[in-house]
Structure 1
Amino acid sequence: MARYNSEKISMANTFLSDKTRVGCIGLGIMGLPAAKNLQRAGYTVSAYARRPESTKTLGGTVASYSSPKELGAVCDVVVINVSDTPDVEEVTLGKNGLVHGMKPGSAIIDMSTISPATTRHVAEKLAEKDITFLDAPVSGGQKGAIDGTLTIMVGGSVDMFTKAQPLLAAMGKTITHIGTSGAGQVAKACNQIIIGATIEGVAEAMVLAQKNGVDAAAVREALLGGFAGSKVLEMHAPRMLHNNFTPGFKSVLHEKDMKIALTNGGENNLSLPAAELFLQRLQALIALGGGDLDSTAIYKVITGEKP
């Protein structure tokens, strides 16, 4: 395992510099700020998006390409931020995928959250063309993406991981090599289980305080000083108490991530009851029309109120 802090990254032993041609696929809640941070770091960024007009949000003159294949042909490295496993398969291995355009020796960094098994399959297919695939899912939400402080969990080639440090450091702060292809996605599944279980616990605690007529905000303040303290309690309990569920991470996407974790658990003959409970909460929220709300809105499912 190798771990880096972005403040300590040097340019030594890297092939990525501010002259590197970087492509970005996916300019949504996470992808857009990642691309902007790459621009701020001095990289010339080109893009492909299903909605070409979204590339205008990068500002300035950004080259926009009509397919991943065309984008890949002019890039040394492509960073992917898309929603789901089929999307990654399409932009990498599809008819007009990156595999058909990128040159030998180039690299793809996938920051999406997808199936570990599919990640390994994509990496194997790309390796046949001498294209390195790093799975690099993140934690830190929209704010972390904007601030460039994401936690990045990486699977794949150690050599490419080391070479890619300046680029990764433009988008994240804590950057850890977990293991071989798919290991980053396994780490992200573990991350989502812990976050989901903690959101559930915090929501239950806030509701319990309120049902007892106790000031839930004061309970939060007290708990932050003890072992119950967490980023979820710090940042998300106020969202629950003020009914602020503007998405940092949409419930429908968190649902997708929990399904990935549970599928992987099944492949390893594991029962994951905390993950199962949180998935049920998310599915109930989505059924009530809250799929585009932040996943902390499961608080509303527990209170029995309409989201």
Structure 2
Amino acid sequence: LRAGLSTWGADLNPQACANLLAEGACGAAASAREFAGVVDALVILVVNAAQVRQVLFGEDGVAHLMKPGSAVMVSSTISSADAQEIAAALTALNLNMLDAPVSGGAVKAAQGEMTVMASGSEAAFTRLKPVLDAVASNVYRISDTPGAGSTVKIIHQLLAGVHIAAAAEAMALAARAGIPLDVMYDVVTHAAGNSWMFENRMQHVVDGDYTPRSAVDIFVKDLGLVADTA
């Protein structure tokens, strides 16, 4: 919206739709069917491959309603095989898919500063360039074949999962040893053991802020993809 793109949105949460409309969206609904035939590009960011397929090909699926030549940017974290299968199904409908998982979380998304790991055809990149420019500060063009972007994201999630687990164990060890957590945090963030995950997530531990900001189930799913890929 801030980039000046005509934007519609779909979310099962009515409040999310209301928020989008308040920001000036052209429309918002529980299903993308409401506007699938109007848009030139569709961005899908749901939990897993089953949900991606449901959005595109399910009972209320939108793929067959989209204009030929339109582009679909799948930003969910899914397996390379799923990305390839979904891309093939979209190609059969004369739609271009960009396998484009993202990283950055809600804050970076709101700022339009996501990191995108993308793979797909020249047509998909061209059609989605305005969208990529609007939502990302870093776009990595991994390959011209869908699936490679998802593989890069899965490898990234291996590191992210390890860093979160190691960070939590480190702070727990510090607490048991009687080391003030703010001191431990300051030492690590100014030394070689630091990571983005430690610096970001452990600040909440130091602050005593345990407000949920994500779902553990998502990391369980992602690390399952890591194991399957390995």
Give your verdict on TM over 0.5.
Answer: yes
Instruction: Name the residue aligned to 1:255.
Output: 220
**Alpha-carbon distance change, 248 to 191 in structure 1, aligned in 2, over 3 angstroms:** farther
Q: Matches of 1:66 and 1:246 in 2, distance apart?
A: 27
Quick one: which of 149, 158, 179 aligns to 2:113?
149
Greater Cα shift, 187-196 or 216-225: 216-225
* Amino acid aligned to 2:210: F
Give runs of aligned pairs for residues 158-177 of structure 1, distance below 5 A.
158-177=122-141
Q: Cα distance, 1:181 vs. partner?
A: 0.5
Alignment deviations for residues 232-262 of structure 1 (CA, whole Å, 9 cap, x no partner): 1211112123332323322122222122222
Q: Matches of 1:154 and 1:247 in 2, distance apart?
A: 29
Runs of 4+ in 1 over 4 A off after TM superposition: none
Instruction: Name the residue aligned to 1:230.
Output: 195
**Alpha-carbon distance change, 248 to 155 in structure 1, aligned in 2, over 3 angstroms:** farther
Q: Cα distance, 1:207 vs. partner?
A: 1.6
**Alpha-carbon distance change, 49 to 203 in structure 1, aligned in 2, over 3 angstroms:** closer
SS at match of 2:56: helix
Q: Matches of 1:74 and 1:159 in 2, distance apart?
A: 19
* Amino acid aligned to 1:108: V
Give runs of aligned pairs for residues 117-156 of structure 1, distance below 5 A.
117-156=81-120
* Amino acid aligned to 1:229: N
Q: Matches of 1:50 and 1:209 in 2, distance apart?
A: 42
Q: Cα distance, 1:163 vs. partner?
A: 4.3
* Amino acid aligned to 1:40: R
Whether contact under 8 Å (2:7, 2:25) holds in the other structure is no
Instruction: Name the residue aligned to 2:66.
Output: 102
SS at match of 1:173: strand
Quick one: which of 144, 150, 153 aligns to 1:185?
150
Structure 2, unmatched stretches of 5+, are none
Alignment deviations for residues 22-66 of structure 1 (CA, whole Å, 9 cap, x no partner): xxxxxxxxxxxxxxxxx1111111233335564221114632457
Q: Matches of 2:82 and 2:37 in 1, distance apart?
A: 24
Q: Matches of 1:154 and 1:261 in 2, distance apart?
A: 18
- Return the TM-score normalized by structure 2: 0.89
* Amino acid aligned to 1:118: D
Task: Indicate yes or no: 2:174 matched with 1:209.
Answer: yes
Whether contact under 8 Å (1:155, 1:183) holds in the other structure is yes
Alignment deviations for residues 118-160 of structure 1 (CA, whole Å, 9 cap, x no partner): 1111100110121001121111111111222111111211342
Whether contact under 8 Å (2:72, 2:98) holds in the other structure is yes
Structure 1, unmatched stretches of 5+, are 1-38, 266-307
Whether contact under 8 Å (1:136, 1:152) holds in the other structure is yes
Whether contact under 8 Å (2:13, 2:30) holds in the other structure is no
Q: Cα distance, 1:84 vs. partner?
A: 1.8
Aligned length: 227
Task: Indicate yes or no: 2:189 matched with 1:245.
Answer: no
Instruction: Name the residue aligned to 1:33.
Output: none
SS at match of 2:137: strand
Task: Indicate yes or no: 2:3 matched with 1:41.
Answer: yes
Q: Matches of 1:236 and 1:197 in 2, distance apart?
A: 13
Whether contact under 8 Å (1:68, 1:92) holds in the other structure is no
- Return the TM-score normalized by structure 1: 0.68
Identity %: 32
Whether contact under 8 Å (2:99, 2:149) holds in the other structure is yes
Whether contact under 8 Å (1:198, 1:232) holds in the other structure is yes
Instruction: Name the residue aligned to 1:56.
Output: 18
Q: Matches of 2:98 and 2:25 in 1, distance apart?
A: 28
Whether contact under 8 Å (1:56, 1:62) holds in the other structure is no
Relative contact order, higher structure (CA 8 A, sep 6+) = 1
Whether contact under 8 Å (1:55, 1:62) holds in the other structure is no
